[in-house]
Structure 1
Amino acid sequence: MKTGFIDVAGTELAVEIEGSGPPVVLLHGLGGTGNFYQPQVAALAERFTVIRPDLRGHGRSPVSGQISIDGYVSDLAGLLDELGHDQVRLVGHSMSTLTVQHFAVAHPGRVSALALLGAVHSPPPAGQDAQRARAATVRADGMLAVADTVVANATSPATRRDRPVVAAFVRELLTRQDPEGYARGCEALAAATEPDTAAIRVPVLLATGTDDGVGTPTVSADLAGKLADAQTVIYLDCGHWTALEAATQVTEDLIKFF
């Protein structure tokens, strides 16, 4: 395993790299880190070079430079340039499903397949207001002011009842975030635009949970209808933190898909 920091546009982004073979990049969503995908890494690394960055402003990556969906796209392109990868398989969760779609549209030759976990649309006006209000809350009162609400709203009842360690880990991911980095991530999501989904020609896997109230099965079905080559899986009793709540199924489906 290679763990360290890679200079991307003057910012040292935290990145973990494991395994060998064709590269797979795993991008976490708002409030996550590369550790969101820890349950999938060992199996994927037997077949692929697995690359897990902490997005700018998240986890161990600093709060600096442009924090926006366009900024995340630029960071991904810069990271691949630094690592010497011309084409990759991409996995995105939640907010990062927008990032990887925008990347696939902007750099079609660099993507061979996409997996979207808990895919979301760009937020409507009410959603934009909610994200900006959350940003204001964490700036004023810190991450503890929102962590329990996010866990309650974005994990399934079955996860909280039967797999409390998963819910606890989601809370830990959230409470360890830099409040300013998280706030800027909220603002990046609020300002997000809808990707030109119809322009994406590579195979796409859409995976969500029956109890995902953020990246709902309806959103995945809508996206599947606009994509040239899409397949959808829905996990029972799974909320929005897909790779943790349905860890074994996500691992198996990613290996089969890729």
Structure 2
Amino acid sequence: MTGLAVERWGESGPPIVMVHGSLNSAAAAFSEQKVLADRFRIIAPYRRGYRPSPPTDRIDPDRDAADVAELLGDGAHLLGTSMGGVVAMRAAALAPGKVWSLTVVEPPALPNGAGRPAADLLADALRNCWAAAEDSEPATFVARFLRVLNVDLPLPSPLPPPLLEAARNLMTERPWETGVPAEALARASFPKLVVTGGGTPGFEAVADALAEALPAKRVLFPGSPHAVQRIGQRFNDEFLAHLSR
């Protein structure tokens, strides 16, 4: 067993494994999806390094992917947001026979968008952001990171313990290196959906590249936050239509 702490919502119906991203948690990331628990069993793990799951010295998307693949059990739908989308895609490639559908929200799979100007610009900006972070306080780093993504999110000062923990985790990531195995996913028969909110051009370019390579249905909800699933019903309606396919 993975040893991860897991939120479980719903007692009957098909399972959905939902994977949160950086600067987030299982409960917060998918609060708008809890309404689906009347017809699905939702399994939302806290990735390693995010309490109450075990701590980690660094975020490892491949280790996270192995954890998620184990949670698929005999089969499940799979949803991942931000870095959780990268983890979900890597998990789907590990266990394609256990994935009934795959949905990803603004995954930072920047190597998959290489050659597209907006993706390359974002990769360079993130690389520079990390290069300048060696002596930075977590709060300073997170503020700089959010500016790179064009995310307007006021940060509390000081950072509360869960956000401080998440910030330290983020500082160990390398998003400009977190590609996904598109060829393996393209060979898998389950339906795929790539969702974005339009706020970060680099993520739009990555999503376009993934939609072509997987191939996947591509949906844009203009004006939405990076965590598009938080818009609630509009996302849920699209997500449910995807599951029904």
TM-score range, shorter chain: 0.7 to 0.9
1:108 matched residue in structure 2: 96
Q: 1:255 aligns with which of 229, 240, 244?
A: 240
Q: 1:200 to 1:191 in 2, by over 3 A?
A: same
1:16 matched residue in structure 2: 7
2:116 matched residue in structure 1: none
Partner amino acid for 1:27?
A: V
| 1:205 paired to 2:193 | yes
| 1:225 paired to 2:198 | no
Identity among equivalent pairs (%): 24
Give, in angstroms, the shift of residue 77 of structure 1: 2.5
1:76 matched residue in structure 2: 68
2:41 matched residue in structure 1: 49
Give, in angstroms, the shift of residue 153 of structure 1: 4.8
Give, in angstroms, the shift of residue 241 of structure 1: 2.0
Give, in angstroms, the shift of residue 249 of structure 1: 1.4
SS of the residue corresponding to residue 147 of structure 1 reads helix
Q: 1:136 to 1:49 in 2, by over 3 A?
A: farther
Instruction: Note the 1:179-198 alignment, pairs <5 A.
Output: 179-184=167-172, 186-187=173-174, 189-196=175-182, 197-198=185-186
| 1:96 paired to 2:88 | no
Q: How far apart in 2 are the matches of 1:177 and 1:38?
A: 20
Q: 1:54 to 1:241 in 2, by over 3 A?
A: same
1:147 matched residue in structure 2: 142
Q: How far apart in 1 are the matches of 2:108 and 2:68?
A: 19
SS of the residue corresponding to residue 119 of structure 1 reads coil
2:19 matched residue in structure 1: 27
Q: How far apart in 2 are the matches of 1:209 and 1:58?
A: 25
Contact 1:97 1:117 (C-alpha < 8 Å) held by counterparts:
yes
Partner amino acid for 2:71?
A: L
Contact 1:206 1:224 (C-alpha < 8 Å) held by counterparts:
yes
Give, in angstroms, the shift of residue 21 of structure 1: 1.0
Q: How far apart in 1 are the matches of 2:109 and 2:98?
A: 23
Partner amino acid for 1:147?
A: V
Q: Which has the higher strand share?
A: 1
Q: How far apart in 1 are the matches of 2:199 and 2:50?
A: 26
1:243 matched residue in structure 2: 229
SS of the residue corresponding to residue 56 of structure 1 reads coil
Question: Which runs of 5 or more residues in structure 2 are unaligned?
Answer: 112-119
SS of the residue corresponding to residue 136 of structure 1 reads coil
Give, in angstroms, the shift of residue 89 of structure 1: 0.4
Number of corresponding residues: 227
* TM-superposition CA deviations, 1:210-254 (whole Å, max 9, x none): 2234521x32222111224x212111212322122x222112211
Cα RMSD after superposing both structures? 3.0
1:163 matched residue in structure 2: none
Q: How far apart in 2 are the matches of 1:73 and 1:154?
A: 24
What TM-score, normalized to structure 2? 0.78
Partner amino acid for 1:37?
A: F
